[in-house]
Amino acid sequence: MLECVPNFSEGRDKQIIARIRQGIESVAGVKVLHTDMGFDAHRTVITFAGKPEACLEAAWQSVRIATGLIDMRHQKGAHPRLGAVDVFPFVPLQGSEMTEAIDCARILAERVGRELRIPVYLYGEAALRANRKNLAEVRKGEYEGLNEKLKLEEWKPDFGPTVFNEKSGALITGARKVLVAYNINLAGGDAALAQKIARQLREKNGGLKAVRAIGWWMPAFNCPQVSCNLVDLDLTPLHLVFDTCCRLAEEMGTRVTGSELVGLVPVKVLTDAADFYNQGKTMTEKEKLEFVKTKFGLSSVKPFDPSKQIIEKALGGWQPG
């Protein structure tokens, strides 16, 4: 089974997201596990799973529909983005190998470039060039800088035309391990303060390994956030990111008031965090999840529902036919 976690540059129009989701659900053998719309980020993450061939067809349908409906000429939001479908990762789950995820990403990239005439970059484990493994490097300059970027030999697309697609921008697709998207809320300050904390958190600046972080102001929540991607949980677990952010916030005169998980997370990520804080204490899985929900303030800006946001529970024993 593969997991797909496409990020669409639309977080406000529910009808557009509904049509994209319908396209995914129209493919037999695929299950949509979660949909997370972010108004201020102007971004929606839809998580679905299935066998590789079914995921690949659902991926194509979602990209085809999204690029038909989303116009990047009018898109503005807090989250960085390169195109209407900003990033489309394939993630190996039960019984799948990374090679299967890589194959899917490359097949999708070729078809999107050929049929939709959209520039496509491959990143992560599917990258064809060393300078494209890091998503942030591929996205640098965002949609607004894409026209000039396409003129550079080192940023020639892996698939599709080198001509700027004004409506759709570019697609980034690839393969990766399970990633946790995690936003931490601050009590006071502004976007600049959140950005300062993010700089100290992220690996690129000498912070925590395998952590990508940016800072922004979220009007819908009336607070600044440090937005993190944890790309290798074996190197840096969730609790270390939370504790480090709490320490940095206090050093800068503010405090952490809670956090939110975007999309899905493996149950082990949360139970490991509970075990870290409660060493030696016997707890049921339900007690561990409740502890972490309270400790991290996971419902501080929107409800956290383990049955919908934990991969294993969202699957609910479902297996692709």
The catalytic residue positions are 79
The C-alpha atoms of residue 11 and residue 167 are separated, in whole angstroms, by: 17
At position 80, the amino acid (one-letter code) is P
C-alpha neighbours within 13 Å on the C-beta side of residue 40: 13
Q: Distances from the Cα of 273 to the Cαs of 23, 208, 232, 292, 297, in angstroms?
A: 36, 17, 15, 7, 13
8 A C-beta contact, residue 169 and residue 146: yes
The C-alpha atoms of residue 258 and residue 70 are separated, in whole angstroms, by: 32
Number of residues written out for the chain:
321
The C-alpha atoms of residue 114 and residue 53 are separated, in whole angstroms, by: 19
Q: Where are the extended beta strands (E) located within the chain?
A: 2-4, 7-8, 30-38, 43-50, 85-92, 120-124, 171-175, 180-186, 211-218, 223-230, 256-262
Buried b (16+ CB within 10 A) or exposed e, 253-286: ebebbbbbbbbbbeeebbbbbbbeeeeeeeeeee
Q: Token match 């839809």: residue?
A: 46
